[in-house]
Amino acid sequence: MSYASVHFTDSNRFPDDEEFEFAIRSVEKAIESGIYPVRIGEGSSGAYLAMNCNHDIVGVFKPKNEEPYSALNPKWAKWLQRNVCPCCFGRGCLPLNQGYLSEVGASLVDNSLSLNIVPKTRVVRLAAPTFNYSKVDLAKLEAKEQIYQHCPHIGRYFNRLGLPFKLGSFQVFMEGYRNGTLWLECFGDRLAPPGLEKMFQLQFERMVVLDYIIRNTDRTHNNWLIKCSGIKATLNESEDINNFMDTETSLIIQLLPSAQTVKIAAIDNGLAFPFKHPDQWRAYPYHWADLRFAHVPFSSETIELVLPKISNIKFVNTMCEELRKLYEIDLAFNDTTFESQMAVLRGQCWNLSAALKERKTPAMLVASTPIRLLKNGKTKDGECNLTWSSYKRVTNSKEPLFRWC
């Protein structure tokens, strides 16, 4: 499955995924009809809720040039940080302005491992007046429109009128999902009903697997979603209902007669795939590591799903090659940086494989020594007799100053 348009056309063609292409088409038609994407106030990057002609939210678009460390980032806090505190700007372990590739890469890894917790995410091109454009782009647009209006014999030679297209990630919107803190507020310190507890634990483990492999540096309790069918969350407006009430938020969880199911959606994966393990100021820990769910050994279901794949170096290298095809679409692609990113990913797969074999807990997994598996001079990913021992194992020579943040 291709995770980006092969050619940088404006048509956003995805012949291998008709459902996704239909979603993008509905957004394009809405924009043409004057229904523009709406900027999301939260977060550190320019992110937009894209809608169809019925004003239904279809997905979230994150342009490359509005990422946290891009010049067109619309958030004043990032502008202030970039201009006033440049020494504290960016994450030293991540390539700059590749967040959109990280978002799509997480979806690729999720699909490869059949985790099914990352909403489908692809690379697209969109243009809308609600996006943040430079003064130069706006001036060019005005000049083109003036020329086309007053000198149509010249204007007809323009390739297209309108604002320039923005390259970015488009993630399908998860209807009916709510912030994951809802679950933690109700069941963070107490057991859920047995069936729900098991369902959530399995979904939680899949998020752990994803975050660990891609070395997500920004997994907090606010950027994963949860959907509970057969469950109703309400505010405490009546004292007659006291099922699983959270005293601080007055949230009440009611178990309905219908079957209960739990699904997690891991969103906001734009700060992953580092080219080295964090070793400067911050450690960027996984926030889920402190939850009680992280102290339960990996289940047999998770082990059977993941271990046969990540313990196979050929499978891991195939996944790396798919990621290469994705990352190569970026004009700033650097082969050395990408190979460093994959060295971290292979090291994470090695550690996770060992943890699953020994049936450790997620908390024990994150305590493992971070390693990178580097290619030696003779290692070629396509070799039939390639083994894990074909790679050079390297550990970090230094640790970050602050390990708690």
Q: Is the dihedral of CA 173, 177, 180, 181 positive or negative?
A: positive
Q: Which residue has the higher pLDDT, 48 or 12?
A: 48
CB hemisphere CA count around 73 (13 angstroms):
21
Cβ atoms within 10 Å of 93's Cβ, excluding its own: 22
Work out the percent of the chain whose per-residue pLDDT is above 90: 55
pLDDT tens-digit readout, 273-310: 999 999 888 888 999 999 999 999 999 999 999 999 99
Mean pLDDT of the chain: 83
Q: Which amino acid is at 50?
A: A
Q: Is the pLDDT of residue 142 over 70?
A: no
**Residues ≥6 apart with Cβ < 8 Å to 332:** 97, 98
If DSSP codes are grouped into helix, strand and coil, which group holds residue 171? strand
Confidence of residue 3 (pLDDT cuts 50, 70, 90): very low
C-beta separation of 272 from 99 below 8 A: no
Tokens 């678009």 found at: 61
Please name the residue that has the structure tokens 């907090």: 220
Beta bridge partners of 167: 125
Structure-token pair, residue 8: 């940088």
Is-contact 220 111, C-beta < 8 A?
no
Report pLDDT for 251. 53
Cα 116 off chain centre by: 13
What is the rounded CA–CA span in Å between residue 114 and residue 260? Answer: 22
> 401 versus 100: which is more confidently predicted?
100
Per-residue pLDDT at 243 exceeds 60: no
pLDDT of residue 248: 44
Which pLDDT tens digit goes with each residue over 310-327? Answer: 999 999 999 999 999 999
CA–CA dist 148, 135 (Å, integer): 20
How many Å apart are CA 262 and CA 111, to the nearest integer?
19
Looking at 40-49, 332-341, 359-368, which range is the least confident one?
40-49
Residue tagged 């099914």 (tokens): 116
Among 17-21, 153-157, 306-310, where is mean pLDDT lowest? 153-157
Model confidence at 350, pLDDT cuts 50, 70, 90, reads very high
Q: Long-range CB contacts (< 8 A, 24+ apart) of 359-362?
A: 359/297, 359/298, 359/303, 360/297, 360/298, 361/294, 361/295, 361/296, 361/297, 361/298, 362/205, 362/208, 362/288, 362/289, 362/293, 362/294, 362/295, 362/296, 362/298
Task: State the Cα–Cα distance between residues 332 and 336, nearest whole angstrom.
Answer: 12
Please name every residue paired with 255 in a beta bridge, in sequence order, or none if there are none.
231
Per-residue confidence (pLDDT) for residue 82, from 0 to 100 = 59
The radius of gyration computed from the CA coordinates of the chain, to the nearest angstrom, equals 23
159 to 13, 131, 148, 168, 202: CA distances (angstroms): 19, 21, 12, 22, 51
* 3-state class (DSSP) for residue 254: strand
Q: Which residues contact 376 (CB under 8 A, 6 or more apart)?
A: 390, 391, 392
CA separation for the pair 120, 109 (Å, rounded): 11
pLDDT of residue 6: 31
77 compared with 31, residue with greater pLDDT: 31
- Phi, psi for 345 (deg, rounded to 5): -60, -45
389 to 311, 369, 392: CA distances (angstroms):
12, 18, 7
> Over 80: is that where the pLDDT of 241 sits?
no
> What global pTM score does this model have?
0.86
Does residue 258 carry a pLDDT above 80? no
